[in-house]
Structure 1
Amino acid sequence: MGTPDFCPLPLYLNLSSMKMLVWNCHGAGNSVFKRTIRDLLKSHNPSIIVLIETKVQLSSMGLFFNNLGFAASTFVDPVGKCGGIWLLWDPFKVIVLALDANPQVIYVKIKRDHFPNWILSVVYARPNPTKRDTLWENLESMEDNMSEPWLAVGDFNDFASQNEKRSFVPSHSHARTRKFAARLNMCNLMDLGCSGPHLTWSNGRQGMANTLERLDRVACNTE
């Protein structure tokens, strides 16, 4: 018999898949947040929740998340009402070991029986360029000792090309985009792309004053 021109690949269930919900929520202390997070959990059934810019302390929401089944957490609370990173998980689905944390990034190791361990970094980069430099020094130091699969997610407060910014005001940010792309390369991280609207931040202004940028992303190493 001749070989067919097209032989489809067999379809196997990806048993290693795991859902993670990452939300730059801009405040977690209101009824709209609670209603929305319940809807998201019902729709997506994640094992891990990552919340960025919570602007409130996790202690004020602990019972709420316990009732949703996310009884384990590691977090960096906001300074005043600025920032905040929460990472919560269902302890019956996954083991998360905290490695390090500071106001701009949380590092954890993700473990599940019968699957390789991997590293998750949750990023909330500060708007201040000097503080972002400190973040990237931290990430580069992490990469120097990285031998496992590594996923970095969150608000990097930077964009990698002019295609990731839409503004009616002339842009002089070419040096900024080159620096950000170089930093990703230094950490051996590659952008995983996205579906849907890719410009994730707006200055909230109308008409010609509106600016949109892609500040939130997911990146990983080759492992």
Structure 2
Amino acid sequence: METKVAFSKMSNFFNRLGFTTSTIVDPVGKVGGIWIIWDTNHVNVRASNVSSQVIHATIHKEDYEEWVLAAIYASPNPILRDQLWHNLENMAESMDRPWLVAGDFNDYANQREKRSFSLNNNTGRVQKFLDRVNNCNLIDLV
């Protein structure tokens, strides 16, 4: 989810809850931001790719299969969002572990997901998003 606040303003709160380690992308102004926070007593997280739109991290917990998390905050700018999807599609081609891609895609899979007063029925945009999800072999869990 879009955090809209710098992690430094919340780090003490999370530390008191036991989440002592993090990988973060701070927002620019009040736009964007991605945080992955964890308790090293329970799980190991290794960030492998961090950008303004995604944090890719390998998650390891003893006695469980290792998996990859892609925490997303896609840019509202369509050109930047296209770059994110290009990178996700490339990563999907070589993904050899379970992969959870979650977050705010600043897109929607059908008109019911969009909150707007506009009656603009943008089926092309919906189809583009669905095609990208399919290209990455992802399943929408909603």
Scaled to the shorter chain, the TM-score interval is: over 0.9
Compared with structure 1, are the counterparts of its residues 166 and 75 closer, same or farther at alpha carbon in structure 2 (3 Å cutoff)?
Answer: closer
Shift in Å at residue 104 of structure 1?
0.6
Shift in Å at residue 157 of structure 1?
0.8
Residue-by-residue CA offset, 1:40-72 (whole Å, 9 max, x unaligned): xxxxxxxxxxxxx22232223222211110001
Aligned partners of 1:166, 1:125: CA distance in 2, in Å?
17
- Root-mean-square deviation (CA), in Å? 1.5
TM-score, length-normalised on structure 1? 0.60
Q: Which runs of 5+ in 2 are unaligned?
A: none
Higher RCO, 1 or 2 (CA under 8 Å, sep at least 6)?
2
Shift in Å at residue 168 of structure 1?
5.4
Secondary structure in 2 aligned to 1:59?
A: helix
Q: Which runs of 5+ in 1 are unaligned?
A: 1-23, 25-52, 194-223
Shift in Å at residue 165 of structure 1?
3.4
Residue-by-residue CA offset, 1:175-202 (whole Å, 9 max, x unaligned): 0000000000000001011xxxxxxxxx
Residue-by-residue CA offset, 1:24-48 (whole Å, 9 max, x unaligned): 3xxxxxxxxxxxxxxxxxxxxxxxx
Secondary structure in 2 aligned to 1:138?
A: helix
Q: 1:141 aligns with which of 53, 67, 90?
A: 90
- 2:64 counterpart residue number: 115
TM-score, length-normalised on structure 2? 0.92
State the structure with more CA Rg. Answer: 1
Percent identical: 52
- 1:162 counterpart residue number: 111
Deviating 4+ runs (over 6 angstroms): none
How many residues end up aligned between the 2 structures? 142
Aligned partners of 1:70, 1:135: CA distance in 2, in Å?
28
Secondary structure in 2 aligned to 1:133?
A: helix
